[in-house]
Structure 1
């Protein structure tokens, strides 16, 4: 605990002021430039790290079926469900192809500019 009694913000500021006073003018400009670049990169990372994820409500309800339903009723319901599943899968593949086209556009642009 005796170590902490020697730490003082005022002493730290005086020490920093003394250090900066011994530096040449161009060294101070480069130090400010390095601090600005570092701070800018940190700000970009913080800003980029917040990506809002859209909330998709995906509730699956369980159907309660009477024990007396026939095989034909079961098959009819399965046909309806299969058609709905194929529709959703087609929509997903469409979104996936659109996204791939966007990435290809950016990739082509980067290759064109040699990046």
Structure 2
């Protein structure tokens, strides 16, 4: 603990003032400019890191079926649902293909750069 007894905030401030008094004017100007730029970058990253999530309600609906449905009604409903399901699957595959194409373009551009 005797090692830490030599540390004092007042000594640190006095030492910093002595160090800065020995610097030339242009060195101090560049020091404060670099300090300001660094502070601005860190503050920008801090402010940008706060992202609020958009609240999106997910409502799931279900069909209420009567117990006395016929097989023909069931098959008809499945045919309607199949069309809707095929549309959703096609839309998802289109999104996936578009995303793959974007990654392919990125990969090709990185290959051209030699990465």
TM-score range for the pair, normalised by the shorter chain length: 0.5 to 0.7
Alpha-carbon separation, structure 2, partners of 1:30 and 1:13: 17
Deviations 1:35-85 (A, max 9, x none): 8468637745863x4667666544211211111111211121111112111
Instruction: State the secondary structure of the residue aligned to 1:16.
Output: helix
Segments of structure 1 that go 5 or more residues without pairing to the other structure are 1-5
Task: State the match for 2:41 in structure 1.
Answer: 40
- Pick closer, same or farther for the CA change 1:110–1:34 going to 2, 3 Å: farther
Task: State the match for 1:66 in structure 2.
Answer: 66
Q: Give the aligned length.
A: 108
Task: State the match for 1:95 in structure 2.
Answer: 95
How far the C-alpha of 1:90 sits from its partner, in A, is 0.6
Taking structure 1 as the reference length, what is the TM-score of the superposition? 0.61
Instruction: State the secondary structure of the residue aligned to 1:60.
Output: coil
Alpha-carbon separation, structure 2, partners of 1:95 and 1:53: 23
Segments of structure 2 that go 5 or more residues without pairing to the other structure are 1-6
How large is the RMSD of aligned CA atoms in angstroms? 3.9
Taking structure 2 as the reference length, what is the TM-score of the superposition? 0.61
